[in-house]
Structure 1
Amino acid sequence: MLHADGPLLSIDVGERTATETTIDGVLEAAVGGRAAATRLAHERIPFDADPFGPENRAYLATGPLQQSRMSFTGRMNMTGLSPLTDGLVSTNAGGYLSRNFVGTGISVLELAGQSDELLAVHVTDGESLSSGSEAASRPRVAFEAVPELEGATVPETSAYMAEHHDLGPDNCIAIGPAGENRVRFASVMTFDSRAFGRGGLGAVLGSKNVKCVTFDGDAAPPIEIPNPPEMDVHREAAQSDDLLRRRGTTGSTEFINDNFSLPTRYFSEYGFEHADRIGGAAVEEKKYEKGACSACAYACKLPTRDEETGVETEGPEFETVYAFGSSQGVDDIVDVMRANELCDSLGMDTISAGITVAAYLASEDEFGNADLARELTEQIAYREGIGNTLAEGLDRCHDELDVDNYTVKGLEFAAHDGRVLHGQGLSYAVANRGADHMYAGLMNLEYSGELDPEGTLGKVERLVREENAAAFRDTGIICAFGSSYVTEDRLEALFDADYEDLMEIGAQTVRLERHFNNQRGFDRGDDELPYEIPDLERAIDEYYATRGWTDDGIVPDAALESVVPSAD
């Protein structure tokens, strides 16, 4: 089976040490990406770890397809113990980092410990570099104290790396002020505008006093990617006329608002009367050039600019339109663009930030006040005033705001409304990382009519299948937009494996996540929603039975015996 290659590079930022460990057994069993990172996290993060403590670890991992020329592969996975949900979380981001990461010759980076000063960590291939007529070797890992970057935004950090190390934002992961100040939904950013967004891993790097990590090298281990289908996928992506290529995920805004639900004014309404002002057409009008991720011909990104105000950003995508638009009662796409740019610059997940701000607006009857929303967003990043309360996330501050707690496992809801799409509601309830639409996407099946949006029963088998597929997608690693192109038969050809074996890797990953969370006290009581949908408890029973878990949502220890080989 095709799998990533290269060692685990473990960096303890407190001890200023770096250790390479061969993990061939893990990679052979888990391929790479999310599956490999989850196995390592399960083995190496203590079950009772403090998310902000030195014992927590953050894993940045690649898959084998990041060495291909195929579209939909410009992504990476990040895994760690979430300070927002208190459970294991994986998140992935696009951009141009993956090829530079692979160039260092490693498959997984592990960040552990806690530095006593703000650091930039530099990872290279450790090979010699030519300097004039002489060859100079460079260290595998270098630690640089960067007190001058304290409080710097993500673009300011990238500019510093460019000036002092000739490395661009495509070589970096970085945190902004939100990460330094341990905002529980702070993001890790790459390429300035691409976010490892959900779950607060930016705050984990902040707790370790790591401002950024750079990657540079040409030592990618050779991996032979089957072609076809490698270039077939790439050609079809280039020739596609999908609406996603012009409007990104915002292309469905008006359709969802008119036919299903676009949560509005902090979930008090099911539709936004001005959806057309912040939806796909409005975004496309502001788009001024094409944008893509590494090696991808699909080019679905949204570089946008408002000529009148000079506001420029990448996006917003649908989730940001919902979080800073309809949820806040804001009907100007330029205001949503400003919010998107502010979150990217400060390093925050737009969903959690936007919904938490919307909750405050609800508490103060200030819906539609975009100026106040931006002020609150900045206060959150710097933990100033009420921002210090909001920075804890909605689950921890809703009582003080006297609003309903629209979270699952502490994670704020994505836009696809489980009150209307009941299969998606079930997915939110049982997902190991909470109310995240990327964990398993039944919403598209319910939007299209392939599944009836009403009811939860009869959907469990498909939900389990979608969870397993998403876990493997984040293992390969393949963009979610590539699902129509990287089909089951093509996955079999690419990975030289039966499709069911690939789905079993996904299932094992879900099982390990759940087991880790079980050890931290998660059980059936955490698989709940803040609203009622039909037959939820019966569907959860069916879900546990299908997964082979107990009636309390616990993974039996015996179920892990074939899943967890130790790191070599």
Structure 2
Amino acid sequence: MLHAEGPLLSIDVTDGVSETITVDDVCSSYIGGRGVATRLAYERIPFDADPFGPENRLVFTTGPMQSSRMSFTGRTNCTGVSPLTDGLLSSNAGGFVSRNLAATGYSAVEFVGASDELVVVHVTDEGVEIEAVPDLEEAPVSETVEYLASVHDLDAEHVACIGPAGENLVRFAAIMTSESRAFGRGGLGAVLGSKNVKAITFRGNSPPEVEIPPVQMDVHREAATSDNIMKRQGTTSITELANEVGALPTRYFSELAYEGVDGISGDRVEEKKFKKGTCSACAFACKLPTRDEETGIETEGPEYETVMAFGSNAGVDDVVDVMRSNELCDELGLDTISAGDVVSAYLAAEDEFGNVDLIHDLVERIAYREDEGDRLAEGVARCHEELGVENWTVKGMEFPAHDGRTLNGQGLGFATSNRGADHMFAVFYSYEYPLVSSDDALDPEGLANKAPLLVKQENARALEDCGIICRFSREFMTPERMEQLFDVDYEDLLAIGERVITLERHFNNQRGVDRTDDTLPYDLPNFEAALDEYYGVRGWNNDGTVPDHTVADL
């Protein structure tokens, strides 16, 4: 089976000591990416670790596909205990850092401990250097990138860093790479901040020797030649469809469609796009470098989830205002979904929907934990009672779009996801809009017979994260091609994805997560029966815990 190659580099930033550890057995069993990181984290992070404590670890990983030249492979995984959900969580980012990490020769690089001073950690194929950077305290992302370029001749594609939000332990702080790409969900930027690590750089000339089957070029060619609306509008191409079917959260989830949708639609974003944008080695080029000539705002995006969080959910109907929110989050190092939802919760409490100046002011105050921003930096689950609004989270994570009150199977997926309210954990919404063929489409209403497909979707997405392969490859990465690439039967590949999800779940079980956490802030028909069916398909206990014998088998 094709898998990542190379050892684990473990760096204790407390005293600057690093060691190299052979993990061939883990790589061969879990492929790479999220799988390898989850297995390593499961073994090396105490079950009772404080997310902000030195015993928590952040594990960065690549997969075998980062040794290819195939489209959809410009991604990197990061895993640790989340300060937002308090569970083991993986997030991955696009951009260009993945191949620079692979070029160091390591399949995984982990960080443990905590530094007494703010540092940058330089990882190369020749060793580790830790540099004190007191002058970068609370520097925005662009300033950090500029410093590394001018002093170390390292451009943004070599860098993963945090902004002020990470240093100030905002629970939904992101780790930024290539300046505008984010390890966004779950607050892993705050974990890096708790270790006093401002940035990590990767550089080397020792990529692993992994032989990728020729089918990679078929995928790459089709990605280059396909005529897909995402090449023009990215994920915002779905905005008007979501609004039409009633799945676009509006005014802090009080409504399901937005009368101002035209002002934040994919067409409006496309009008602001001024050049192509892509990730490493990808010919699909679905990214959105945008510019507004009148205001001078230039950013990348916004993508659909940001359009929801800072657009419809905040009562904003001008894409330029959403662009500004997006730019602020990238500069300050914030997950746009959680940040937008938290701001929208405050707007709901104060009856200030559409107040753009207030929105942008709140984003900055959150990042620096100033005044009201200090409370909002804790996330909706921890501040909703004080605000007097509903708790629109699952397991502490704020909701994306694709509203489960309309797309019921996706609603079930929000509840079961180990990461909490996360649309990418299963991407079940694609069957219910639908974004798949009519033969595969499902009635969005009801939960009957959806649990088995949800399990399969979760396993398949975990498999992609082991690869690591982008979610947007779904038209090109068929099961047959996955078999050719990894040289393993597809059902066996799905079993690897299942193992990853089971390990995540068991780790979180040890931290108290069970059926009572697989809930939603709204009712769905026959939800409890569907949850029973889901656990049954997974082979888990009816209380949402993983049986001990299942873990022993793994």
- TM-score scaled by length of structure 2: 0.99
The code of the aligned residue for 2:179 comes to D
Alignment-derived partner of residue 164 in structure 1: 151
User: Are 2:258 and 1:272 aligned?
Assistant: yes
Q: Structure 1 residue 103: deviation in Å? A: 0.6
User: For the Cα contact (< 8 Å) 1:262–1:415, is it kept in 2?
Assistant: yes
- Distance in 2 between the 1:163 and 1:356 partners? 36
- The answer to whether 1:379 aligns with 2:349 is no
1:413-464 CA distance string (max 9 Å, x none): 0101001110000000111110000001110100016111011121011000
Residue equivalent to 1:566: none
Cα distance in 1, alignment partners of residues 539 and 238 from structure 2: 36
Q: Which residue of 2 aligns with 1:497?
A: 488
**Which of 316, 322, 338 is equivalent to 1:352?**
338
2:475 is aligned, of 476, 480, 484, to 484
The answer to whether 1:49 aligns with 2:49 is: yes
Q: Which residue of 1 aligns with 2:451?
A: 460
1:235 to 2:221 alignment: yes
SS at match of 1:561: helix
Q: Measure the CA separation in 1 of the matches of 2:140 and 2:493.
A: 40
Matched, 1:293 2:279: yes
**Partners in 2 of 1:494 and 1:209 — Cα distance?**
39
Q: Deviations over 1:182-216 (max 9, x none)?
A: 00000001000000000000000000000000001
Q: Partner of 2:142 in structure 1?
A: 155
Partner Cα distance (1:98, 1:267) in 2:
36
SS at match of 1:263: coil
Root-mean-square deviation (CA, aligned residues, Å) is 0.6
Between the aligned partners of 1:170 and 1:287, the Cα distance in structure 2 is 21
Alpha-carbon offset, residue 260 of structure 1: 2.8
2:517 aligned partner: 526
Deviation at 1:266, TM superposition (A): 0.4
Corresponding residue number in structure 2 for 1:435: 421
Matches within 5 A, 1:13-412: 13-126=13-126, 140-227=127-214, 229-412=215-398
* Equivalent residue letter for 1:145: A
Per-residue CA distance 1:27-58 (angstroms, 9 max, x = gap): 00001000000001111100000000000000
- Please give the alpha-carbon distance, in whole angstroms, between the structure 2 residues aligned to 1:290 and 1:38: 34
Question: What secondary structure sits across from 1:91 in the alignment?
Answer: strand
- Contact kept, 8 Å, 1:457 with 1:538, in 2: the verdict is no
Mapped partners of 1:179, 1:204: distance in 2? 7
| Distance (whole Å) between structure 1 residues aligned to residue 532 and residue 15 of structure 2 | 47
Query: How many Å apart are 1:88 and its aligned residue?
Result: 0.7
Instruction: Specify the code of the residue in structure 1 equivalent to 2:546.
Output: V
Whether the 8 Å contact between 1:362 and 1:403 is mirrored in structure 2 is yes
Contact 2:460-2:494 at 8 Å conserved across structures: yes
Which residue identity lines up with residue 550 of structure 1 in the other structure? N
Aligned to 2:405: 419
Q: SS at 1:60's partner residue?
A: strand
Asked whether the equivalents of residues 261 and 312 of structure 2 are also in contact (C-alpha less than 8 Å), the reply is yes
Matched, 1:508 2:499: yes
Other structure's SS at 2:79 match = strand
User: In the alignment, residue 388 of structure 1 is paired with which amino acid?
Assistant: D
Distance in 1 (alpha carbons) for counterparts of 2:448 and 2:541: 19
* Partners of 1:85 and 1:433 within 8 A in 2: yes
Alignment partners' CA distance in 1, 2:256 and 2:220: 39
- Preserved CA contact (<8 Å) 2:119 2:197: yes
Deviation at 1:288, TM superposition (A): 0.2
The residue type equivalent to 2:180 in the other structure is S
Aligned to 1:470: 461
Kindly state the Cα deviation for residue 221 of structure 1 after the two structures are TM-superposed. 1.8
Determine helix, strand or coil for the equivalent of 2:130.
strand
Separation of aligned partners in 1, 2:430 and 2:216: 26
3-state SS of 2:160 partner:
strand
Runs of 4+ off more than 3 Å: none
Deviations 1:280-304 (A, max 9, x none): 0000000000000000000000000
SS in 1 for 2:78: strand
Is the CA contact 1:426–1:536 (under 8 Å) kept in the aligned structure 2?
Answer: yes
- Deviation, 1:562, is 3.0
Superposed CA offset, 1:212-240 (max 9, x none): 0000111012110000x111111000001
Report the counterpart of residue 134 of structure 1 in structure 2: none
Aligned mates of 1:279, 1:89 — CA distance in 2: 31
Question: How far apart, in 2, do the equivalents of 1:259 and 1:366 lie?
Answer: 26
Whichever residue aligns with residue 181 of structure 1, its letter is N
Task: In structure 2, give the amino acid aligned to 1:287.
Answer: K
Separation in 2, partners of 1:473, 1:298: 17
Paired residues of 1:174 and 1:213 also in contact (CA < 8 A)? yes
AA partner of residue 520 (structure 1): R
| 1:513-534 CA distance string (max 9 Å, x none) | 0000000011110000010011
Letter in 2 for 1:123: V
User: What CA deviation, in whole Å up to 9, does each residue of 1:244-265 have, x standing for no partner?
Assistant: 1100000110111012321100
Deviations 1:294-330 (A, max 9, x none): 0000000000000011000000000000000000000
The amino acid of 2:266's aligned partner reads G
User: Within 5 A, what are the aligned runs for 1:545-556?
Assistant: 545-556=536-547
List gaps (5 residues or longer) in structure 1: 127-139, 564-568
1:560 Cα deviation after fit: 1.4
Match of 1:537 among 517, 524, 528: 528
Deviations 1:377-425 (A, max 9, x none): 0000000000000000000000000000000000000101001110000
Contact residue 247 and residue 404 of structure 2 kept, 8 A = no
Q: Using the alignment, how far apart are the partners of 1:269 and 1:503 within structure 2?
A: 37
Q: Counterparts of 2:226 and 2:343 in 1: how far apart (Å)?
A: 37
Give the partner amino acid of 1:515. Answer: H
- Is this contact kept in 2: 1:121–1:142, CA < 8 A? yes
Task: Indicate the percent of aligned positions where both proteins have the same amino acid.
Answer: 63
Partners of 1:486 and 1:418 in 2: how far apart?
Answer: 27
Q: Is the 8 A contact 1:325 1:331 kept in 2?
A: yes
Q: How many residues align?
A: 549
Q: Residue 133 of structure 1 aligns with which residue?
A: none
Provide the rounded CA distance (Å) in 2 between the counterparts of 1:286 and 1:499. Answer: 41
